[in-house]
A and B are shown apart, each in its own frame.
Chain A
């Protein structure tokens, strides 16, 4: 009965049409099972989430890799080790090798690489159907990961190896040194198919969900520098690699990895540490979102304005060099080991139904 249409009686007619009367009666009669949500008003209820599409979907994906503290990296699992773009490490089989601009965070509960749906951080939304995002929907992605260890690179660890020369503009092999290197962790989105192939995961703009946004993305930026003035970084978490040690027994400053399975020491900040992040955006285009997955990339570092000016408009770039101070190179090739990791997605409606 939600929408019964009553025909109009015309007062100017001397005789009311029986057809009109019968039609009106039939319109009301055909109400079996017809009382529906149109007959219920929501006035007086002003909480937005009470409407039919307040929250469209909750979804979460946890890789399940949780072990005790202080374990060796082989125990953690080869698939949980991620080597950087600047590294040439490719063995043993089963690691995330160097030379790649980014890696899907896809080690499973046993610590091995697993690209299956529902493993690692590959989150499928609403089964194989995906969720049809509508314009103005709000997408909230939250994630966290336990950084189990910083995998030492091949560079030296004393201050002379890790502090660069003065920062020079437009020189990719210069930088501030200890403290500036980092990895990043970020979600990517698959709007291509429910197969959730790793190569189909893209940033929110390239996936066609949002318009006119430029996200820092190794896929697009590995060949050059990305100015922070033009590239969004609100979709990613920074994973720090080093701090400058206060000194050991001989008073020699040193570089300290941020995480080490052996715990705090003169060259290690802590055992393990958790990073988390949150990315919220408004949908610009109606499109089906099939899945979300975390990716990680490193080693990133800062540099001055890629245009070569001396103004303070820093950029970041993906490190391609390994530290060799004698040759004027001050890069690093530290990897990271990730233990547990998860990603959550909540889609809120942007419009009242």
Chain B
């Protein structure tokens, strides 16, 4: 309830100091614990006044990580490390190690995510025919739901072609950059990560930068 003053005054009469003091006390009492809910406007102290309206999840940058290893968990011949993830061919649920972020949102908001990577997809090592169609992809997954708009393809590192035998595939080590805006993500806990799938046995990802920003809705 708004402050209410005990006394009002009339022109031409002396203002009684005691009554004025009562009114001052009314104001004191109002400020000192008398403010009620109804005194607040609906736009008082929005979230952006008292909490971060934006958060930046921990940037995740890795120089060298392994990708999925499907089939024989062998060691790629060109790199002295082995795969860490086993999964089915073309499955969307092979998450890229070290690239998952769990975050909590106090309120519904919008997310913006971007990633860069220089994938190196290994060849099939069959040495037979050109591996046309051998590819891998990387995309964003939020709470177990793939975001197909973010899917990026890349291809095997080596292909047998040309009169001189195997030569590097055309677009080897082509950088990939992708962004996604996720609108109206609900409050609560969420997981967001990069996932991969492939038609070959193994792949290697290098130099992945993964950046997540979120912004709470500012317009109610």
Contact = CB atoms under 8 A, between A and B. Distances in A.
B186 to A, nearest CB: 15
A31 B39 CA distance: 7
Contacts of B143: none
B153 A54 contact: no
Contacts of A264: 130-132, 155-156, 159, 161, 169-170
Interface stretch (B5-13, B57-65, B96-104): B5-13
Contact of B49 (A29, A37, A54, A273): A37
A271 B43 contact: no
Q: How large is the interface on A (under 10, 10 to 19, 20 to 34, 35 or more residues)?
A: 35 or more
B102 to A, nearest CB: 22
Interface in B153-171: 153, 155-156, 159, 161-163, 167, 169-171
Given A37-B46, A276-B177, A271 B155 contact: yes
B206 interface: no
Interface string B175-207: 011111111000000000000000000000000
B6 to A, nearest CB: 10
Contact of B183 (A29, A31, A33, A59): A59
A21 to B, nearest CB: 5
Interface string A13-36: 001111101100100111111111
B14 to A, nearest CB: 7
B40 A35 contact: yes
A344 interface: yes
Given A248-B162, A264-B130, A264-B169, A31 B53 contact: no
Contact of A21 (B15, B43, B44, B179): B15
B218 interface: yes
A86 B159 CA distance: 34
B133 A70 contact: yes
Nearest to B4: A29
B183 A58 contact: yes
A262 B130 CA distance: 11
Interface in A226-271: 243, 246-251, 256, 262-266, 269-271
A276 B44 contact: no
Instruction: Choose among A31, A64, A66 the residue with the greatest number of B CB atoms under 10 Å from its CB.
Output: A31
Contacts of B178: 144, 274, 276
Interface residues of B, number: 66
Contacts of B2: 29-32, 34
A42 B10 CA distance: 41
Interface stretch (A44-52, A170-178, A203-211): A44-52
Contact of A270 (B1, B12, B15, B155): B155
A340 interface: yes
A39 interface: yes
Contacts of B14: 15
Contacts of B42: 33
B151 interface: yes
B110 interface: yes
B133 A69 contact: yes
A35 B44 contact: yes
Contacts of A346: 112, 181
Nearest to A348: B215
A142 B11 CA distance: 68
B48 A276 contact: no
A35 B43 CA distance: 9
A315 interface: no
Instruction: Choose among A35, A40, A62, A248 the residue with the greatest number of B CB atoms under 10 Å from its CB.
Output: A35
A278 B43 CA distance: 35
Given A69-B135, A264-B132, A269-B171, A344 B180 contact: yes
B153 A40 contact: no
A274 B48 contact: no
Contact of B15 (A18, A266, A344): A18
Contacts of B15: 16, 18, 21
A344 B11 CA distance: 65
Nearest to A42: B49
A60 interface: yes
A157 B196 CA distance: 35
A167 interface: no
A346 to B, nearest CB: 7
B132 A39 contact: no
B183 to A, nearest CB: 6
B134 interface: yes
Interface of B: 1-5, 8-15, 20, 23, 27, 35, 38-46, 48-49, 52-54, 110, 112, 130-135, 148-153, 155-156, 159, 161-163, 167, 169-171, 174, 176-183, 215, 218
Interface of A: 1-2, 15-19, 21-22, 25, 28-37, 39-40, 42, 45, 47, 49-56, 58-60, 62, 64, 66, 69-70, 142, 144, 146, 243, 246-251, 256, 262-266, 269-274, 276, 278, 340, 342, 344, 346
Given A18-B13, A32-B38, A58-B112, 6 more contacts: A28-B3, A33-B38, A33-B41, A52-B46, A263-B133, A264-B155
7 contacts: A33-B42, A37-B41, A142-B179, A263-B134, A265-B130, A273-B174, A340-B151
